[in-house]
Amino acid sequence: MSQRKPKTPVVEKELWVENRFGLHARPAAQVAQMAQKFDVEIILEKDGSWANARDLLSLLALDCPQGTRLVLRATGPQAHEAAAALFSLFASKFGEK
Amino acid sequence: MTPNNRPLQGIPASPGIVLGRAKVLSEHVETQPCNCLLYSPEEIEEQLGRFLKAVEQAETDLIALKDSLSPEYQEHGHLLDVQILMLKERMIFQETQRLIREKRYNAEWALFQAWQKVRELFQGIGDPYIKGRIQDAEEVYRRLQSNLAGKEVWNLSADEPVIIVARDLSPAEATQMTSSQVLGFITERGGRTSHTAIIAQSLEIPAVVGVDFATREIATGDPLIMDGLTGQIILDPDEALSRSYQARKKDFEAFKGEVAQASNLPAITTDEYPTQILANIELPEEVDLGLKYGADGVGLLRTEFIYLRQRHLPTEEELFLDYRRVVEAMAPRMVTIRTLDIGGDKFLSHLEYAPEMNPALGLRAIRFCLKEQKIFRTQLKAILRSSVYGRVRVMFPLISSVRELQEARRLLEEVKQELQREGTPFDARMPAGAMIEVPAAVTLAHLLSRQADFFSIGTNDLIQYALAIDRGNKQVADMYQPLHPAVMRMIREVVNAARVARIPVAMCGEMAGDPLYIPVLLGLGVAELSMNAMAIPMAKHIIRLITIEEARKIARNALRLVTVEEVNDYVAQEMNRRFPEIFRFVHALAANLEP
């Protein structure tokens, strides 16, 4: 839901929203904070719509309840590190149930 | 303006009496800020500077707020973290600056425009929980606009303590009241078991909720009396009324101290007849409240919430974790879990279950569960699994025939065998009981008692069905009478049947928690009473002052009377005579308010 088109992807990964309440404010905040740590452009894509992983509000607006499948596309020098970090964040269910 | 003692009525949500001035928190969402175009680069710089200062101020305030939270409100600290993050969010922070720079908007208007886009974005969200998060963004937006306007947002550390009046308070906002000069709060929305009410109770801040048009009727600075015991609010009280409330407040506080001191002691009558005072629980937060108020266990754990709050059916694991949390917190005290007590139209697709014309008499509770056995089995399995983490018993709502109870027990046995095969541990002797809330079940109590390990009388439904009264219908609401001779005789019949079968009888429902009825119920032979946590100290207080002989005498005399009016008069008189210090708080000031 960003205005810019994503650049050619360097890393592509599949992510699943597994925690019970979905990607609500706190998990989304964790994703945004994590994405901001790396020198990278990360797009999360869901059924054709997408959000910049750094933007808390657009992550929320992507509407990802439990069970949502997302595709992560990371572009930039730290694409691999960022993708791995986000992958384990999703896998940890953001410390929730 | 001359004082006029104008009364407003709400729902008492947290006990206590306060006198003070109102502070109305109005919502400015609909009001548009002024729009003026900027001409010079200096003006643009000035507006950018104002915006950045507003953000900085908001950040400082939020961090200070977060630091002032006590550790038990960590959960709400996270909410504040989210708000802090949102301050620098691209769609608000950068977009507002862009609009100031490129469109030459003033700061307020630029922020408003940025906010409109966020709102639009959220409109498309389907998941109700995620959609609800717009509240957090909205709080941030409001805070920034107020900072720009130079208004104090929440000047909660104001010198003069205030009574907060708001449309609604989020749990995060309610929590802020800990560190501040808030005497009490009044909201238009919410019920007795809303999150906000529960937080108010645990903070011991008096609260009245569900006051229609409170933010319109009350203005900031208005002198108020708020009575969290009765739900009454008095606007512009005169001196005489203020004085009598001051006295009542003092009395109540002394009394509360006395009652609270004894709330962790066992509920035993003076002649050593033991009773159990249990808590009704709906939200997980209430467990702590129950413990704090000295509950001997949970007499009713409602299980509907989790089915209603999410789009998919809860999994066995989710249910298990929910139950386990309560069971573990309460251990070694007993937790009574009631199986699902709603109809399919509440949470399944409307194609399968259309809303019914008369849901009170429709396919719900045990009827629904016996039809949708898969849903029922999942719940039973989760309940059984939780039983090894403490003491658990299960009860089936709305039983109206022996067959239903047999069926429910048969399914429970099947699920036990399944767990055994899987090697999953559970308490093989977990008691299973029947709720008595349909007149047919009262008539069949002797037969049901052979299949049940205990009874729990659900008075809300039983009274409604026995007297054919819909309490929501204002035309007949006053005919809803817990001490109706028919209801008392039904309770006696259930107790007799249970006595023969040597099984315990509990009662859950509002009647069980009303101080007025406790001696009668005790006298009728109901020795386990389950109620809202905040009612527990008072119930224990009464029980610890009475003898079982006295209670039996009151019940015997009440049963001899033939009209409900006579019974009500007799019981009120008896209780006023016996416990003047308690009933003064309920009735004493009512007379002052008559026009």
At B344, which CATH number?
Answer: 3.20.20.60
Environment class of residue B594 by beta-carbon count within 10 Å: exposed (0-12), middle (13-18) or buried (19+)? Answer: exposed
Of B91, B121, B149, the residue that ends a domain is B149
Residues B106 and B184 in one domain: no
Residues B184 and B286 in one domain: no
What is the number of other CB atoms lying within 10 angstroms of the CB of residue B305? 13
Whether B106 is covered by a domain: the verdict is yes
List the CATH number of the domain containing B180: 3.50.30.10
Quote the CA–CA distance of A79 and A39 in Å, as a whole number.
8
For A84-97, write each residue's pLDDT tens digit: 999 999 988 888 76
Quote the CA–CA distance of B269 and B545 in Å, as a whole number.
6
Partnered with residue B202 across adjacent β-strands are none
* Domains in chain A: boundaries: 11-95
- Secondary structure, 3-state, chain A: CCCCCCCCCCEEEEEECCCCCCCCHHHHHHHHHHHHCCCCEEEEEECCEEEECCCHHHHHHCCCCCCCEEEEEEECCCHHHHHHHHHHHHHCHHHCC
Quote the CA–CA distance of B560 and B137 in Å, as a whole number.
62
Whether B474 is covered by a domain: the verdict is yes
Q: Which residues of chain B have pLDDT under 50?
A: 28-30, 154-158, 587-595
Residues B45 and B181 in one domain: no
Residues B134 and B231 in one domain: no
Q: ipTM, 2 decimals?
A: 0.76
Please check whether residue B102 touches A, CB under 8 A: no
Q: Which two tokens stand for residue B32?
A: 């548009």
Residues B89 and B220 in one domain: no
Residues B19 and B66 in one domain: no
**Cα–Cα distances in angstroms (integers) from residue A30 to residues A12, A60, B594, in the given order:** 20, 12, 57
- pLDDT value at residue B513: 86
Please state the separation of Cα B50 from the chain's center in Å.
42
Provide φ and ψ at B95, rounded to 5°: -65, -40
Please state the separation of Cα B556 from the chain's center in Å.
34
- Residues of A catalogued as catalytic: 24
Residues B396 and B419 in one domain: yes
Q: Which residue of chain A is at minimal alpha-carbon distance from B123? A: A61
* Three-class DSSP category at B173: helix
Q: Which two tokens stand for residue B519?
A: 């001696």
Residues B145 and B171 in one domain: no
Contact between B19 and B253 under an 8 Å Cβ cutoff? The reply is no
- pLDDT value at residue B586: 52
Burial code (b: 16+ CB inside 10 Å, e: under 16) for B508-527 equals: bbbbbbbbbbbbbbbbbbbb
Residues B10 and B93 in one domain: no
For B256-282, write each residue's pLDDT tens digit: 787 777 788 899 999 999 999 999 988
Residues B484 and B383 in one domain: yes
- CA-nearest of B258, B299, B266, B263 to B280 is B299
**Parallel, antiparallel or unpaired: strands B334-338 and B297-301:** parallel
Whether B571 is covered by a domain: the verdict is no
Closest Cα in chain B, distance from residue A85 (Å) = 20
Residue B587 bears catalytic tag: no
Comparing CB atoms, the residue among A20, A24, A58 nearest residue B133 is A24
Residues B301 and B319 in one domain: yes
Closest Cα in chain B, distance from residue A5 (Å) = 16
Residue of A1, A55, A58, A60 best to disrupt the B interface, most CBs of B under 10 A: A60
C-alpha angle with apex B500: B498 to B501, nearest 5 degrees?
Answer: 65
List residues in chain A touching B: CB distance below 8 A: 1, 20-26, 28-29, 32-33, 52, 54-58, 60-61, 63-67, 97
For B382-440, write each residue's pLDDT tens digit: 999 999 999 999 999 999 999 999 999 999 999 999 999 999 999 999 999 999 999 99
**Cα–Cα distances in angstroms (integers) from residue B179 to residues B17, B25, B68, B161, in the given order:** 19, 18, 6, 12
* Residues 6 or more apart in contact with residue B439 via CB below 8 angstroms: B462, B465, B466, B490
Instruction: Give the domain extent around B503.
Output: 267-563
Whether B380 is covered by a domain: the verdict is yes
* Three-class DSSP category at B234: strand
Q: Which two tokens stand for residue B469?
A: 């009264």
Contact between B460 and B421 under an 8 Å Cβ cutoff? The reply is no
Quick check: bond before B284 cis, omega within 30? no
- pLDDT value at residue B133: 74
* Residues 6 or more apart in contact with residue B97 via CB below 8 angstroms: B48, B51, B110
Q: Which two tokens stand for residue A37?
A: 């740590």
Q: Which two tokens stand for residue B543?
A: 């029980």
Size of interface A-B (CB pairs under 8 A): 75
Whether B572 is covered by a domain: the verdict is no
- pLDDT value at residue B563: 96
Record: fold of A11-95:
Histidine-containing Protein; Chain: A; (3.30.1340)
Please check whether residue B117 touches A, CB under 8 A: no
Residues B230 and B272 in one domain: no
